[in-house]
Structures are given as structure tokens and as C-alpha cells.
A and B are shown apart, each in its own frame.
Chain A
């Protein structure tokens, strides 16, 4: 997608008609708008959004623009003239753009009537509202297309646009400690996780409908089973929702905990103790991972070693079989197929035919019987080999089991010591004379306890969900068996099974896909961060499992709080850029006041990098503050158009001038 031109009529401070070319070339992708505060920069940004997203954007306006609604954008001079002349005023925005090289234009237009309120304020009341979308075909004909969200969903869905058309404040907010929800949501929307989750929810809804219908339709014992099956599903759905809520709660507590720990680490009185605490915690985590691995090894070995009671019997059997083999009692395998074929054809190998009961028939039948016995002995021979292997494996597993148990006990002792050491550090931290340190330490402890308690709750719910799933599987077998006798119920069961299995498969895929997407965003964020901040080579950026942006120093310690304001903002920008690149939608990037709250120290790197990120870059900048010597040097030769916005206080109108 690439914007071509914007036409506005009586929109905000832009009185009458204005046309702005947004054409750009690959080597000059930037289009820059310069204007002071209140001169109409954000209005142009809003005009593009309104043109594309119409009513969706109108609904967002009160939240985005401090309670404003779309009628507040009707130009005040045009409204006064309409009142004077007793006419209606028309306001519109038309955006021309190309998508897949096909030109389109989209228009939002409304007619408003001037109305005086009781306090004599002049306001606009909407009387008419039109949205149109046209495609210009190869012959130059304008063909009207139905405007609907499906068209825009293909290009740039409304819920994803915030990562392409955004204001500078967004950059400021993303690295705050409590922003993990926003970071998670960005990934969730842009890489189609939202789509998968909706698909799963809708399929589960349909499955529940079929279950209800089957329950109402089923009679007798099947009716009871359907009732129980439905109840188990309802319980499972409730449990899954509760697990999700608890996980979100735990994530939020852990985010708070991380913020507190980072604060403590940066306080001079506590940094040493806090550093010691972090080391001990890491060591504790490492031992826990080792214990988990050992536990799974132990389970595996125990199941084999548990057969040791049979090892002696197996050895005896092996010896017995060996004796038989030496005596030649186990003959070589002979094909039974040939004998069976001869009996079937009633024809000997020499060509003689025979009937049932003939001597040849009896001889061949006896031979087949003998071969079958031999075959049994062959199986015994195979068994001898298997038994030999098994007794060796049982013996080895018993030895490994003993070794693993010793190692596990050592690790458990080490864990006890580590926990004690952490408690001592906590006690020392709480004893520190400074009240705020003690307070923070206490707060951190409370959150750790809360997090552990929620984790325990989650584990219990997971166990209940597993039990529920086992019962559902059992009911599935029973209902399938009984359903065969009631055709209508069987049809409903089949549909329920299809919907339910499809939802389960999506659920399985979801976790794998979410993890892959998280890793992609993480890798690209780090890559972009290094582009934006050249001095960042000492740091590693990670997006942890809670979707928090984490910065680690070369020792693996958290270092987000040590980043300067500028570096921290660059991290946000790197993340937004990574998100837009992962989506591969490659629409224009429009940023309202990108440098407004960005630290001066990073203006140079960011302004040099921005034009390289996209095919079209629209920047709305404040002269001097954002359009300064540094940014001008980097952006001027990359800009296809630079527009100057002039606002006249007397006439209350903005004029657009190209520099």
C-alpha cells in the first residue's frame, strides 16, 4: 500500500478545499509536515485515519483526542458561514492510494447543520454521512466498490493500524514496567494470534450448541451420558477460563515484582545485597531445572527397573531356550503359505490332484500343523533375544536409578541451602535503616508469595482439567457406542466431535505459533535496537515469556533501568518497527511527533534509520524542536515533499505551503 494524495474539505482548521500530494520515490520515501502546536499537524494525521477507517476511527476519537468527536472537526469558519447563509456545511476527506499497483480512493463525507446551544455556542449536528470506495481500472474508469471492513482487513486491519499510524507518545509508553499487556497485545494482533484464538472460541461455541442439541435429543442411557458429557465440558471450559485469569494475574504480579527488584538493584545501599539475591535466585532456578530433568529420567528408569522382579525368571527362560536351541529342537522357519496354497488348490507340488480325506490331503495337513508348531518355536527364539536385551536393560536402569536418586537428593539439599541464603539476604535487606528500602523489600516479598500461591492454584486447576479431559474421553467412547442406535443423535455427535476436535487442534497449534512469533519479534527488536542505538552492543534485548521487554547486560543481569531515557525510547521504537516487519504488511509508516518526547541524544540515529524502514514515511514535526539541525541533515535529502503549515490566528485558517 502506498498513499498518493490527500484531499480535504472544511476539515479542522483547513477551510475550503486542500489537496496534498503524497507521492514519493524509493530513494526519497519521506514526506514531512512542519507546523507549530495547534497548526494542524495532528488534524492531517487524523484526516488520513478517518478517510481509511471511517466510523471505526470516529468511535476511537473520544479516547484518543480527549473527548472530541468527529463533528468537532467541522471547520469553524465554514460553520459560521453556513449559519449566516442558512446552509449546510460539508466536511470530507479523500485518500488516494495504490495497493498491489491498483489505484483506489476512499472518501468519508458528512453534511452538518449549524446549531446554537443554550449558552450561544455554535455546534454542528450531523445530517448526512457517506463513505465511498472507488477503484480506477486500467482504462481509467472509476468503479465503485462496496466499502466494507473486508477490503481494509486485507490491506491493513483496523486493529493493527496502531503499529503503523501512531503518535510519539506510543514510543514513550512501551518500555514502562507495566506495559507487558500492550506488548503482548501488539504481537497478538499483528501476527494473527487473535485470529486463531477467535477461531478456537467460535468452534467451541458451535461444539457446545451441538452438545446441547444431542443432549436434548438423546433418550434412555444415552441421554444420561450426553448430560454428563455436557456437564464435564462446561466444567472444563470454566477451568480453562480460570487458569487463564490466574495466569494473567500472575504475570501482572511478576511485572510489578520485576519493577520493584530493578528499583532495589539501583539503590546504592541495596545493590550489593540485591545482586547477591539475584545470583542466588538464578542458581535456585538452575537447580530446579536440573531437578525437573532428573525427575523425568527417574520416572523413565523406575518404570524399567520396576521389572527387576522378572529379571531372574527371564534369565532362567533364556537359559532354557538356549539349551533347546543347542539340541536342535528349534528348527528353521519354513513357509506355511505354500502348504496352505496346495491345500486350497487341492493339488500336490508334483501335479497330482486330491480331495479332502485323501492320504495326500492328510499328509499335507499334518505337515502344516507341524510347521505351525515350528513357527511357535520361532517366536520363542525371538522372545529369547528380547528377554536377553530386557534383562540387561533392567540391570542398567537399576544402577542408573540409584545414581539419579543420589544426585537428586544432593540437588534438593542444595536447594534448601539456597532458599535459606535468600531468606537471610531478605532479612538483611529488611533490616536496612532506610525506610523505603525496607518497604520495597517487604513489597517484593509479598508479591513473591502471591506469585507462588497463584502458581499453586494454577497447578491444582491444571490437574482438575486433566481429570476432566480423561472423563470426557471415557464418555466419548460410551456415547459413540450408544449413539449408533439413535441416528439423529449420532449425526449431532459427529458435528460436535468435528467442531470440538478442530478447536483442540487450533489450541495445540496456538502455543507453538505464539512461541515462534515471540522469537521472531524478539530477534528483530534486538536487530533494530542495535541500529537505533549504536552504543547498545553491550546489551541484549529479550522478550520474555510474560511478553515483557527485558534488557540484559553482558553478565545476564537486568539492565532496563540503566538505559538512558533516549535508549529506552529507542527500544520502544525498535519493538514497534519489529512488529511492523514481522507482519510483512509493509504499509506507509505515519508518525505524529516522533521526536517530541524523544531524547536529543538519539535524534541523529533515529532520524537516519526511519527512512530505511519503509517505502513511505510520513512525519509530522514541530519546527526547531523536532526539525532541528540534526534531523534536518538526515531527513532533508530523503524527503520527496516538505510541507509547511501556516496557521493564521485572525482568520483561524491553516494554509499548506510546499518548501
Chain B
């Protein structure tokens, strides 16, 4: 079956390059996931945006951070 190509426009590449400059890995991960979620719901009205998915992104990254920190201690 034909594989779908991942197209990244020059404009999107510029944005990715700017994201790469963020030093905090957790924040970088949250932003990447948020932008993907926004991109998938570009045409949704503000009312229909899946806010719970965004809360889950924050929560899962915070849990990872907490677990890593607990192990460190």
C-alpha cells in the first residue's frame, strides 16, 4: 500500500527550527503535541476544540517529569 508522504512546507520548517531552540525538553514536547492537536483541529470552532486532549498532554508530561524526579531522589 502506498505510504503517505509527510510534507513539511518551508514555513513549517521555519517554525520547527524556532521550536528546536527551546531548551526545556518538557516544554518542547508539550508545544510539539499542542501544535499537532491544533493542526488537526484547524477548522473546529473554538467551542469544539478538544480541551481535554490538551489537558491530557500537560498531565502526561507532568507525570513523566514527576516519575523521573522521584526515581532521581
Contact = CB atoms under 8 A, between A and B. Distances in A.
Given A138-B2, A206-B55, A494-B65, A513 B14 contact: yes
Contacts of A585: 9
Contacts of A210: 58
Chain B CB within 10 Å — which of A209, A499, A520 has the most?
A499
A102 B1 CA distance: 11
Interface stretch (A151-159, A381-389, A534-542): A151-159
Given A149-B44, A153-B39, A501 B58 contact: no
Contacts of A512: 18
Chain B CB within 10 Å — which of A137, A159, A494 has the most?
A494
Interface in B7-46: 9-12, 14-15, 18-19, 22, 24, 26-27, 30-31, 34-35, 38-44, 46
Contacts of B71: none
Contacts of A629: none
Interface in A499-516: 499, 501-502, 505-506, 509, 512-513, 516
Contact of A157 (B1, B42, B49): B42
B43 A495 contact: no
Contact of A494 (B34, B46, B66): B66
Nearest to B55: A206
Interface residues of B, number: 38
Contacts of A209: 55
Contacts, number: 103
B34 to A, nearest CB: 5
A192 interface: yes
A498 B12 contact: no
Contact of B12 (A192, A495, A502): A192
A56 interface: yes
Contact of A502 (B27, B39, B59): B27
B63 to A, nearest CB: 9
Would you call the interface of chain B mostly helix, strand, loop, or mixed?
A: helix
A636 B4 CA distance: 36
Contact of A505 (B22, B39, B65): B22
Q: Give the interface size class of chain A.
A: 35 or more
Nearest to A497: B62
Contacts of A498: 26-27, 30, 58, 61-62, 65
Contacts of B14: 513, 516
A311 interface: no
A198 B30 CA distance: 14
A140 to B, nearest CB: 14
A195 B38 contact: yes
Please name the 3 residue pairs, one residue from A and one from B, whose CB atoms are nearest each other, closest first.
A149-B43, A584-B9, A153-B42
Interface of A: 56, 100-102, 137-138, 149-150, 152-153, 157-159, 191-192, 194-196, 198-199, 202-203, 205-206, 209-210, 491, 494-495, 498-499, 501-502, 505-506, 509, 512-513, 516-517, 520, 582-585
Interface of B: 1-2, 4-5, 9-12, 14-15, 18-19, 22, 24, 26-27, 30-31, 34-35, 38-44, 46, 49, 51, 54-55, 58-59, 61-62, 65-66
20 contacts: A56-B43, A100-B5, A137-B1, A149-B42, A150-B41, A195-B39, A202-B34, A202-B51, A203-B30, A206-B54, A206-B58, A501-B24, A501-B27, A502-B30, A502-B58, A505-B27, A509-B18, A583-B11, A584-B10, A585-B9
